Every structure is written in C-alpha cells, then in structure tokens.
Amino acid sequence: MDLFVKPYFCKIHFIWIFAALTLLTACKDKQTDYSMDYTIEMDTVRHYLNVQLTYTAGADAPDEVVLVMPRWAPGYYEMLDFAKHLTDFKAQDSQDSILTWYKEGMNRWRIKLSADKCAEVSYRIYANQRNVASSRVERDIAFVAPNGVFMYVDGEQDHAVTVRFRLPDGWQHIATGMRPHADDSSAFTAPDFDVLYDSPLLIGNFYTHKFTHEGHDYEIALETPDGAEDMDFEGQFRRIVSAATRLMGDVPYDNYCLIHMGAGGGGLEHLNSQACYTDGTYRFPSRKAEVKFLAFVAHEYFHLYNVKCIRPAELWPLDYDHEAITPMLWVSEGLTCYYEYRLLRDAGIITEEEGLELLSTYFALYAPYEGQRHQSLRQSSYDIWLNFMNSDDNARDVRINYYFKGPIIGLLMDIDIRRKTADQRSLDDVMRLLYNRFYKEYRRGFTEEEFWSVCKEVAGEPLTDIRRLVETTDSIDYAFWLKGEGLEIDTAEWVIRSSESIVNTQTQP
C-alpha cells in the first residue's frame, strides 16, 4: 500500500476501520453473553474426576459452541495433551435431549446447540499421575491441576467461570489460591480462565494452617507434614517472603497458598500459590539436604515475580493451544535459580558458606560437560519444547540445561553491573525495573532486546561480555569474573569458596 495517501482518504479509511472495530466489538459482546458453571465429583476408587459443565447462553448466541482443553500448563514446557485423559464426553440440552457434537483435532469439541442455547456437558478425567501439571485422585485426597480438567469456549479464555466441588464424605479441606464463595466454601469463581488455570487445588484430608504475614493472608497445606513443625517450616517460609518483599519492594498478591504434597518430584509456580511434591517428610538426613529443599521453596516463590509477573513477551498473553517458544527462559528459570541463593542468604536462613555451596552445585552440574561447547544458553531456552523431557543418552554431550548455566550467568551479571556502577547498582535493580515497567506499568511481557536495554539502562553501558556468554558457546573465564570479588573457584571439583570477607550485596529498592 502506498503510504503517501491524501488526508481525506486516510480519514475514510479511519472511519471504516472504526466502524469495523465497533461491529467486531458488538459481535464479541453478543458471543460472550453466556455463563459457564462446573461441578466436580471425585471417584476415589477408580481415580477419576467426574466433570459436569453447564453452558448457558442468550437467545441470540451462535448455534454452535466450541469447547477447548489446554494442551500444556505454563511453567511445564511440554505438550501434555491433557485430552488424552478424557473419556465419556456427552452433551444434552436443558430438556435432556442429546446434542450433536464432533471433535476437531485433539482438544476441541464442537457442539450444535438447540433453541434453548444451553448445553449440559459431562466427561471424566483419569487422574492418577504424580506430577505437578497433572491431577491425582486417591482415597482421601485429590490434587486438581486445572489445565487438564476445565475447557473454555474457543477464543474466550478471558471469560469468568464458576467451579463447585462435591466432596466425598469425610473430606474436610480445599486449599487453593482462589478465594471461595462467602456462602459456599466449596465453590469458586475465577474472573477468567488464566486465573483458574493458575490456581491448583489440594482437596481432602491434610494438614492446613492459615496465618497473616506483613498484611497478607497465607495458607500452608501439607499432605505429609512429618517434621514440618520441628524445622519451623512456617517460620522459614515467612523469612523467605520478607526477603523477597525487601528485594522487589512490592507484593503482587492479596493471599498466597503453599501446597506441598508427599513423595514425588517437581514443583510448579503460580501467581499466588505453589504446588510442589516433596520427599514426603520434613526430616532431612543432613543440613545440606534441608538447604536444598528450602532453595526449592524459594525458587517456586520467587517465580511469582520472575515469570508470572516479569514475563518474556511470548508468554503474555498465554496461548494454551501452541508452544510458547522464547529464547528468554534462561532469564525466567536460570536467574530464579540464582535468587534461590540470594533469598535464603538475605533472609538469614543460610550462611555465606552454605550459599556458596548451593551455587557450587550449579557450576558442578554445568561446567564439566561437553554440551556447553555445542549449545548456547539462549538456544537451550529456545529449544526447551524439544528437550524438556528428552532423556537421550547423548544429552550432556550436545545440550546444556538453563537451570544450571542460568544461575552462573546470574552471578556474573550481578558482578558485571556492580563493577560498571562502582557497586551502586546490581542485578536486583534490573529485576525491579522489569517488574515495575513491564508488569505494573505496561502490563505486558518484555522482548529480548528490551531485556538487554534494561540491563544497559541499569549498568550505564551494554553488558556485551555477558550477552556473548548467553548467545555463544564461548568458554567462561571464571578467574576473570571472580577475581576481586572475594571468591575463588576450584575447577577440579567445581567448588566456589570465599577468599576473603564478602561484602553484603543486598541493595535497597
């Protein structure tokens, strides 16, 4: 199109575009004139979630509705195709007449509505997996991972939804980041499906404790609380929260729910909750094991800032139907690993020596392996959808893990910014600026170039050497980076040690 058009022609085009947008908005308003109400029951013998959805639309709604189930869960970068756990899909109208429906692809159900524009939809979800992205139903407890249970109307994931649970006899608790209805503690309304999908639930009989800390409400829900009181887990968690608040200068939630389950692996972050599998006990065989566990808790907690709020642009808005491919997960995950150490140290939970031991773990996991010569940190982020659960025998020979190299780069970034600013600025300032500018002000994610621009803004000059270490397979001169920082590294055992008294690196918001 010729950009040099006459002014009156521009005006006509503007009027046409405005009219078209108005029409589209009106159509969207009509299309969204509906309600979605879910009721969930648990089959504790056969491990099923029995789902009942009531879809009710206005008389002028379309004659069809397309329901979509997500294919993945944010934070778990693998296409899980939750629809594979679904069976016995049925649909009928308000008069119990069967509605015609057919499936499109792997995760879409198109239902032809009758005149009443109501659909009573039912299906069952097999729930018998012990991972943080999947649901599990057992004799006296259930973990509900919403992405694999609830469907949204195609193109309408920003619509409100209500969920009710019919609990088996004797079941006592529901723990989640969502607030229950005032008159029904087993019912919840989410303003949109992003909030629903970001709110896992632990339901049944387990230890639960609610408390207030620094003006916010918290709930600790532990499936297996053995030893939690002895180690003062609540007190340790409070200190982690306080350290993160001091660091970021803000708390982005009203309430927070900490869901910890029994034996199993992995944790998943959410904006106002975390869902983690533990070893089934809080009695640790060593102090090192306890520190590792607390770092795990701090990691998932700090994610509420770094990835739930501070997001790569490709993760905002979320598309549950396609891979969110981004070269910036080394920031989301790798820098969060660095802040495990920072939060525990700044909270006074660990000593400087214990912190260095924690950081040394990442050096030992990354530095010796051949993969660092074949894949950059940036590429490891971009390719994670191929490699998240890829356990090929040659993995360490050709790939790296951003969980391992990321915190190393985090440490070096912190050092580089401090050097460039005579210790006046730090990586903390980068994180705060990303949070305040892109999450709170712009309400969007940051691009790769915007990230490096913020680093330059904080440091006063580009982080050229750091960016090269991120984007290439160049080797890292550890002696250069650690020299003068009171640190030294034993490259035989890949252990970082303090060579002199370390200056407190906490900067103020």
First to last CA, the chain: 49
The verdict on 350 and 499 lying in the same domain is yes
Task: For residue 391, give the CATH number of its domain.
Answer: 1.10.390.10
Q: Is residue 128 part of a domain?
A: yes
**Longest Cα–Cα distance in the chain:** 79
Dist. CA 155–CA 152, nearest whole Å: 8
pLDDT at residue 499 in the model: 80
Nearest CA-CA partner of 414 in 339, 327, 306, 312: 339
**SS3 of 253-275:** CCEEEEEEEEECCCEEEECCEEE
Angle at the Cα of 194 from the Cα atoms of 307 and 316, rounded to 5 degrees: 45
pLDDT at residue 32 in the model: 54
Decide which of 166, 191, 220 is a domain's last residue. Answer: 166
Residues 6+ apart with CB under 8 A from 174: 165, 167, 180, 185, 186, 201, 202, 203
Residues 6+ apart with CB under 8 A from 130: 136, 261, 263, 264, 265, 277
Cα 97 from chain centroid? 41
Q: Is residue 12 part of a domain?
A: no
Q: Is residue 51 part of a domain?
A: yes
The amino acid present at 420, given as its one-letter code, is K
Confidence (pTM): 0.91
pLDDT at residue 91 in the model: 98
Decide which of 108, 141, 166 is a domain's last residue. Answer: 166
Decide which of 166, 192, 208 is a domain's last residue. Answer: 166
**What phi, psi does 44 have (nearest 5°)?**
-80, -10
pLDDT tens for the chain, 509 residues: list them: 433 233 333 333 433 333 333 333 333 344 458 999 999 999 999 999 999 999 999 999 999 999 999 999 999 999 999 999 999 999 999 999 999 999 999 999 999 999 999 999 999 999 999 999 999 999 999 999 999 999 999 999 999 999 999 999 999 999 999 999 999 999 999 999 999 999 999 999 999 999 999 999 999 999 999 999 999 999 999 999 999 999 999 999 999 999 999 988 799 999 999 999 998 999 999 999 999 999 999 999 999 999 999 999 999 999 999 999 999 999 999 999 999 999 999 999 999 999 999 999 999 999 999 999 999 999 999 999 999 989 899 999 999 999 999 999 999 999 999 999 999 999 999 999 999 999 999 999 999 999 999 999 999 999 999 999 999 999 999 999 998 899 999 999 999 999 863 334 444 44
Residue matched to tokens 């927070």: 256
Q: Is residue 15 part of a domain?
A: no
Structure tokens at 469: 């270490």
Structural domain including 118 reads: 36-166
Do residues 327 and 373 touch, judged by C-beta distance below 8 A? no
Domain count for the chain: 2
List, in sequence order, every beta strand (DSSP E) within 264-377: 267-270, 273-278
Nearest CA-CA partner of 237 in 219, 254, 263: 219
pLDDT at residue 264 in the model: 84
Q: Is residue 342 part of a domain?
A: yes
Q: Is residue 186 part of a domain?
A: no
Residues 6+ apart with CB under 8 A from 429: 417, 458, 507
The verdict on 161 and 309 lying in the same domain is no
pLDDT at residue 265 in the model: 79
The H-or-E segment that residue 119 falls in is: strand 118-126
Residues 6+ apart with CB under 8 A from 368: 494
Task: For residue 103, give the CATH number of its domain.
Answer: 2.60.40.3650
Q: Is residue 202 part of a domain?
A: no
Q: Is residue 240 part of a domain?
A: no
Long-range contact pairs involving 310-313 (C-beta distance under 8 Å, separation at least 24)? 310/431, 310/434, 310/435, 310/438, 310/439, 310/446, 311/438, 311/439, 311/445, 311/446, 312/445, 312/446, 312/447, 312/448, 313/444, 313/445, 313/446, 313/447, 313/450
Structure tokens at 229: 């009181």
